Amino acid sequence: MSDAPQETPDEGVPAWVMTFADLMTLLMCFFVLLLSFSEMDIAKFKELAGSMQDAFGVQSEVEVRTMPKGTSLIAREFSPGKPEPTALNMVRQFTIDSSENTLDALNREEQDRERERELTEDHARRIREALKAEIDAGSVSVETDGMKVIIHVLENASFDSGRAEIRPGFIPVLDKIAALLDENSGAIMVSGHTDDVPISNERFRSNWELSTSRAVSVAHQLMQAALGVEGDRFVVTGHADTNPVADNATDEGRSKNRRVDISIVRGNELDVLRTVSIDDSMANNTGPAEEATE
């Protein structure tokens, strides 16, 4: 019997492991191929999203964005079939498109108003330049109110006390104003005002008649001198002492209140006028009451 050591078989990986590894590799390749061949049906997805939207009562219609997806040879060569729409008995709610932007419209309106204000200020500047001497003398003043240019004509230069006839020396001033009446402006409002000292003589029964008569005299002169300005644009009003601009307790304040205002209204900013009847007791006679507008 030989004493040489016997050889033992090599210890290593079992034989079935190679078969298992080959099987796992084939399965992985199989699922990778399935994933590469797959493609999402976008039409079905959109239809499902629309059904969910209607079911939960969503009113605003929002654009559906497609989900990102991979591309494959099959996706490039073939396209999914077009699904036929299914008729559904449903009532859609009426809604206003919330995506509409109203800021542009508001901005345009604000720009239009700003443009009108600029035109009003420019008009007032030209009138101040033309009446610089009268403004420096304190017989006329010019101001703006919104889209109105207001020219205050004071009594000390235009009328004698208690009278409604324009002084001859003041007629050229009104002619200057008439030449600057913008044809694109709106109404031309001429309003007469007095202080609170009562008046009663053979010509005027009250300050209402005096203020109205002075406004009419100024309006007539403007109509004669303003070429191309229609007469229906003039509005003549008498306010007596109801709209003072200064305190009637002083001589200086009463002098400022005795005035005729010429308001040149631009655009559609027209004052709301209403007719007011003078009280019979103010007229102090049995005849019809005088009417004035405020």
H helices present in the chain, as ranges: 16-37, 42-55, 73-77, 103-130, 132-137, 155-158, 171-179, 207-225, 251-257, 280-283
Query: Residue 101: what pLDDT?
Result: 58
In this prediction, residues 176-191 reach a mean pLDDT of: 81
| 253 class by beta-carbon count within 10 Å (0-12 exposed, 13-18 middle, 19+ buried) | middle
pLDDT digits (tens, 9 = 90+) for 202-215: 888 899 999 999 99
Chain centre to alpha carbon of residue 220? 36
Predicted local distance difference test score (pLDDT) of residue 291? 37
For the segment(s) 115-293, the CATH number from 3.40.50.970, 2.40.30.10, 3.30.1330.60, 3.10.105.10 is 3.30.1330.60
CA distance 258 to 194: 4
221: number of Cβ within 10 Å: 19
pTM of the model: 0.55
Read off the pLDDT of residues 223-241 as tens digits, 9 standing for 90 and up.
988 877 888 889 999 999 9
Domain boundaries, the chain: 16-77, 115-293
pLDDT tens, position by position, 76-86: 555 666 666 66
What is residue 105's predicted lDDT score, i.e. its pLDDT?
67
